[in-house]
Amino acid sequence: MDQRLQGKVALITGGASGIGLACAKRFAREGAAVIGFDLQSAEHWQAAEEITEHQLFINGDVMDLEAQEAAVAQAVDRFGQLDIIVTAAGIGDAGPVHMLDQTAWQRVIDINLTGTFLSIKAALKPMMEQRSGSIITIASIEGQLASEGGSSYNASKAAVVNLTRNVAMDYAQLGIRANAICPGFIETPMFNSVMEHMPDLKESVRKQHKMMRFGQPEEMAGIAYFLASSDASFVTGQAIAGDGGYTCGPSHGIVEMMGLT
């Protein structure tokens, strides 16, 4: 492997699990120093062979700006700079509006949207001083398309997409890029906790992906790696779906009729 992130420093919120953990492993394999920030313990992080040296794990809540600023300061103290932030901390929830109480709505907006805002705010401080940086938010295809019963989650993710575009615009001339990844349904602990009791729903969702399968966290980490690398030096303000074709358009069985399976 080329280790194309050698010398780079990446902070990953939600780094203890799923997509965030896969990003940490991939970035570490590519030579970056990685800093995990998560509510959960570092159990999986520490078990990962890839993440051995040049790493730091900090327990904290993305709703706590001071904790995020302290994590950024620790990263800069230890490794000298901050080049990349991936905002993967997030929660799922569901419910159509008439059934959703305000507290449940607010919790999803707080963690998924306000948490992302605070992560970006903390990371911008060193990035603006350096006049460089890559901000990678983890939104969702459900921030691009609606889905039944997904009101609060989908609204939070749509807002993350547009916040990311706005950050891209506001800081482009300071050398800071910002892009959103919009995953389809990815097999992570979050996905499993939602789907394990609903096999019919799981099967129906699987078939919405034109590739007829779910995604893997490592496939999202591959997109994050591209966005973090110099290959993406002219890419900013984009929402990139990694969704096995989920958002291509509706299926009507014509592919099957034509034997293209």
Ligand X SMILES: NC(=O)c1ccc[n+]([C@@H]2O[C@H](COP(=O)([O-])OP(=O)(O)OC[C@H]3O[C@@H](n4cnc5c(N)ncnc54)[C@H](O)[C@@H]3O)[C@@H](O)[C@H]2O)c1
Q: In terms of CB distance, is 14 or 126 closer to ligand X? A: 14
Any idea how long the chain is?
261
Site for ligand X, rule CB under 6 A: 13-14, 16-20, 38-40, 61-63, 88-91, 111, 115, 138, 140, 183, 185-186, 188-191
Among 153, 171, 225, 246, the one annotated catalytic:
153
Q: In terms of CB distance, is 104 or 190 closer to ligand X? A: 190
Q: Look up 171 and say whether it is catalytic.
A: no
Q: In terms of CB distance, is 7 or 114 closer to ligand X? A: 114
Name every residue whose Cβ is closer than 8 Å to that of residue 63 and which is 6 or more positions away in sequence. 110, 111, 114, 115, 118
Shortest Cβ 140–ligand X spacing (Å): 4
Q: In terms of CB distance, is 62 or 82 closer to ligand X? A: 62
Shortest Cβ 248–ligand X spacing (Å): 17
Active site residues: 153
